[in-house]
């Protein structure tokens, strides 16, 4: 079903594709979280799944991380793009048919075979590139299709009308298309430290040039749309954007501090990491100033997820800048501190932005079901679970790092970790899983059009001119 938006300024929004990607996002999220829970349990009960190769720790961890990045975040970002691109560009996306193909390819030719193959033991031993080469080839095709689907509307509109979300969308789509083959295919053919350098580059490009720009595009979009006020400073938006795209690629080697990669590359990455922290402070200051008046925990659920994600972005990035420094990295590298950082980043920042984007778009689909109570529960459960997991794993990391520095036998650090792993596997896991089940319930039950009614009664459901202050004189002269 395709809805023709009622308002003067918005062309066709493919609500069926928003919906399909949204549901796929939540289903793949729940599958990925299940893999995460099993992996966490196996650290406590090593015999769990013993003798069943597809249940082995390594394979499930691959399924967990690739599922989170491509299945959950990938689908959630596509859902948002189908809503936002027509509003931002004033043009429909390229083709509904292409959209159906992209959906099918992403879910049935990337996620499904990717998972089946890694669980069957066919994988690529490269971080954040674990799906095998044959699946990588399909991802590249899908990324080309995504570029064809979402980029032309912006170019047709004219570049002078681009709003900050549009820059991030264009940057994210173009850079992911370029860096994905570099990180997933090149290291296969470049052995040794040089291959590792490419791999490190990709690790940070994956989070910095795919996940972060898309998450920021959502945040920059939802804040003005839900508060109905323009973003605080266009200048700060621009500064943040250019610094991010300039600095992120330089950060890659901070994953290999104290490695055999040339020290000049390591030092460049360490300096770039500190500067990236400054960039994030600029971006977040602009976003928080744009949120002024909405409260620390805004009432609107989409805005609330997005605002909380913004805070997590600040915390995780300041932490990241610190842990890239040699003295800190020496103490925490390889420990659960880094796993805490990853979850705060991918779950706290990116997933809160993605969930906020989903809720925001869902509210504006006239035929979608919407259960405000379940969405409210989802928010609190995930916040509680994430904070517990973050504190728990950070402490675990400090204990592990200290024991290693003291030269204690390895097994001692494993024994000391047990209490923290119990809290993760039997505490935070279930809060997070419960929260995401609640989000699925929130977006699949409740009255049809409930979200639209709630928004229309409060701030008004019309797409707003203010979303692109001064830059997008929308048709009808609403700006
Ligand atoms: C200023 C910003 C940031 C800096 C300087 C930074 C720095 C770092 C460093 C140094 C590591 C490696 C730690 C180690 O292994 O010893 C790391 C790991 C990681 N970071 Fe960040 N980080 C930042 C923000 C982010 C954001 C925004 C995300 C996600 C959206 C993210 C996701 C990750 C992930 C997933 C890992 C683990 C990678 C792996 O080893 O598989 N980081 N970060
Ligand atoms: C119930 C929830 C979850 C549990 C129990 C869980 C558990 C785990 C475990 C045990 C690992 C491997 C850590 C290691 O190598 O020692 C892991 C890795 C990871 N998980 Fe989760 N996870 C959960 C949910 C999530 C969610 C929702 C996300 C993101 C949206 C996520 C993102 C990641 C990332 C990025 C890594 C890689 C960490 C790294 O390489 O540093 N996880 N998770």
Kindly report, residue by residue over 348-398, the tens digit of the pLDDT.
Answer: 999 999 999 999 999 999 999 999 999 999 999 999 999 999 999 999 999
Q: What are the residue boundaries of the structural domains of the chain, listed by start?
A: 3-457
Alpha carbon nearest to ligand 1 atom 37, residue: 342
Mutate which of 200, 204, 207, 244 to test ligand 1's pocket (most atoms within 8 Å of Cβ)? 207
**Could you read off the pLDDT of 190-229 as tens digits, one per residue?**
888 888 878 878 888 899 899 999 999 999 999 999 998 8
Confidence of residue 37 (pLDDT cuts 50, 70, 90): very high
Ligand nearest to the CA of 273: 1
Confidence of residue 470 (pLDDT cuts 50, 70, 90): very low
Q: Is 259 in the pocket of ligand 1 (CB under 6 A)?
A: no
Q: Is 316 in the pocket of ligand 1 (CB under 6 A)?
A: yes
Report the candidate in 255, 244, 166, 261 with the shortest Cα–Cα distance to residue 209: 244
What's the CA-to-centroid distance between 26 and ligand 1, angstroms? 24
Residue 466 confidence (pLDDT): 53
Rg over alpha carbons for the chain, rounded to the nearest Å, is 22
What's the CA-to-centroid distance between 179 and ligand 2, angstroms? 23
- Per the CB < 8 A criterion, the answer to whether 421 and 340 are in contact is no
Residue 287 confidence (pLDDT): 97
Is the model's pLDDT at 448 over the cut of 60?
yes
Average pLDDT of the chain is: 91
In ligand 1, the atom with minimum distance to the C-alpha of 215 is 30
What's the CA-to-centroid distance between 211 and ligand 1, angstroms? 12
Confidence of residue 473 (pLDDT cuts 50, 70, 90): very low
* Dist CA 257 CA 48 (whole Å): 34
User: CA separation (Å) from 117 to 57, 103, 472?
Assistant: 15, 20, 46
Is the model's pLDDT at 138 over the cut of 70?
yes
Is the model's pLDDT at 440 over the cut of 90?
yes
Q: Pick 468 or 243 by higher pLDDT.
A: 243
- Per the CB < 8 A criterion, the answer to whether 298 and 352 are in contact is no
Residue with tokens 């709003």: 163
Alpha carbon nearest to ligand 1 atom 7, residue: 320
Tokens of 251: 């950060």
Per cent of the chain over pLDDT 70 is 94
* Dist CA 303 CA 223 (whole Å): 6
**Could you read off the pLDDT of 139-188 as tens digits, one per residue?**
999 999 999 999 999 988 777 778 899 999 999 999 999 999 988 988 88
Report the candidate in 108, 233, 220 with the shortest Cα–Cα distance to residue 172: 220
Report the candidate in 448, 361, 358, 344 with the shortest Cα–Cα distance to residue 397: 344
* Dist CA 201 CA 159 (whole Å): 29
In ligand 2, the atom with minimum distance to the C-alpha of 37 is 5
What's the CA-to-centroid distance between 195 and ligand 2, angstroms? 25
User: CA separation (Å) from 450 to 223, 362, 435, 455, 461?
Assistant: 21, 10, 20, 9, 12
Q: Is the CATH code 1.20.210.10 the one for domain 3-457?
A: yes
Residue 157 confidence (pLDDT): 75
**Could you read off the pLDDT of 302-360 as tens digits, one per residue?**
999 999 999 999 999 999 999 999 999 999 999 999 999 999 999 999 999 999 999 99
Q: Pick 251 or 436 by higher pLDDT.
A: 436
Mutate which of 67, 72, 315, 342 to test ligand 1's pocket (most atoms within 8 Å of Cβ)? 342
In terms of phi and psi (left: phi > 0; alpha: psi -120 to 50; beta: otherwise), the region of 306 is: alpha
Ligand 2-lining residues (CB < 6 angstroms): 33, 36-37, 39-40, 61, 64-65, 68, 338-339, 342-343, 346-347, 351, 424, 429, 432-433
Q: Which has the minimum average pLDDT: 97-111, 245-259, 292-306?
A: 245-259
Residue 147 confidence (pLDDT): 98
* Dist CA 32 CA 66 (whole Å): 8
Residue with tokens 């470049």: 190
Is the model's pLDDT at 1 over the cut of 70?
no
What's the CA-to-centroid distance between 421 and ligand 1, angstroms? 21
What's the CA-to-centroid distance between 290 and ligand 2, angstroms? 31
Alpha carbon nearest to ligand 1 atom 26, residue: 345
Residue 262 confidence (pLDDT): 87
In ligand 1, the atom with minimum distance to the C-alpha of 257 is 16
* Dist CA 114 CA 120 (whole Å): 10
Alpha carbon nearest to ligand 2 atom 19, residue: 65
Residue 478 confidence (pLDDT): 32
* Dihedral sign computed on CA atoms, order 361, 363, 369, 375: positive
Alpha carbon nearest to ligand 1 atom 29, residue: 345
């Amino acid at each position: 079903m395709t809805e023709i938006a009622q308002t003067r300024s918005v062309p066709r929004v493919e609500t069926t594709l928003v919906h399909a990607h949204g549901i796929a996002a939540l289903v793949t999220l729940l599958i990925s979280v299940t893999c995460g829970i099993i992996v966490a349990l196996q650290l406590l009960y090593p015999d769990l799944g013993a003798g069943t190769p597809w249940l082995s720790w390594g394979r499930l961890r691959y399924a967990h991380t690739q599922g989170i990045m491509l299945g959950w975040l990938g689908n959630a970002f596509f859902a948002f793009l189908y809503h936002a691109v027509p509003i931002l560009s004033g043009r429909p996306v390229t083709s509904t048919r292409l959209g159906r193909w992209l959906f099918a390819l992403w879910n049935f030719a990337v996620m499904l075979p990717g998972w089946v193959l890694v669980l069957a033991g066919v994988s690529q031993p490269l971080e954040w590139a674990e799906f095998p080469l044959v699946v990588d080839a399909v991802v590249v095709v899908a990324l080309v299709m995504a570029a064809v689907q979402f980029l032309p509307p912006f170019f047709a509109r004219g570049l002078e009308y681009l709003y900050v979300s549009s820059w991030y969308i264009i940057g994210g789509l173009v850079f992911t298309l370029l860096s994905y083959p570099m990180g997933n295919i090149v290291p296969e053919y470049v052995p040794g430290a040089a291959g590792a350098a490419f791999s490190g580059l990709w690790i940070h490009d994956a989070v910095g040039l795919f996940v972060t720009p898309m998450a920021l595009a959502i945040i920059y979009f939802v804040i003005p749309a839900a508060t109905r006020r323009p973003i605080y400073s266009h200048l700060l938006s621009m500064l943040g954007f250019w610094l991010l795209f300039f600095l992120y690629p330089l950060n890659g080697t901070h994953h290999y501090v104290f490695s055999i990669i040339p020290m000049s590359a390591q030092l460049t990455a360490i300096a770039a990491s500190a500067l990236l922290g400054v960039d994030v402070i600029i971006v977040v200051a602009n976003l928080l100033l744009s949120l002024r008046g909405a409260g620390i925990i805004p009432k609107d659920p989409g805005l609330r997820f997005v605002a909380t994600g913004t805070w997590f972005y600040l915390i995780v990035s300041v932490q990241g800048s610190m842990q890239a420094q040699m003295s800190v990295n020496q103490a925490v590298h390889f420990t659960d501190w880094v796993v805490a950082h990853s979850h705060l980043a991918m779950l706290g920042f990116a997933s809160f932005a993605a969930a906020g984007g989903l809720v925001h778009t869902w509210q504006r689909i006239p035929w979608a079901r919407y259960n405000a109570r379940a969405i409210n529960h989802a928010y609190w459960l995930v916040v509680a679970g994430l904070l517990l997991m973050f504190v728990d794993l950070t402490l675990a990391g400090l204990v592990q790092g200290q024991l290693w520095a003291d030269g204690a036998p390895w097994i001692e650090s494993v024994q000391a970790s047990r209490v923290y792993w119990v809290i993760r596997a039997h505490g935070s896991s279930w809060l997070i899983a419960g929260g995401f089940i609640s989000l699925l319930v929130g977006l699949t039950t409740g009255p049809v059009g409930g979200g639209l009614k709630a928004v229309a009664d409060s701030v008004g459901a019309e797409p707003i001119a203010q979303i692109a202050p001064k830059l997008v004189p929308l048709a009808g002269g609403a700006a």
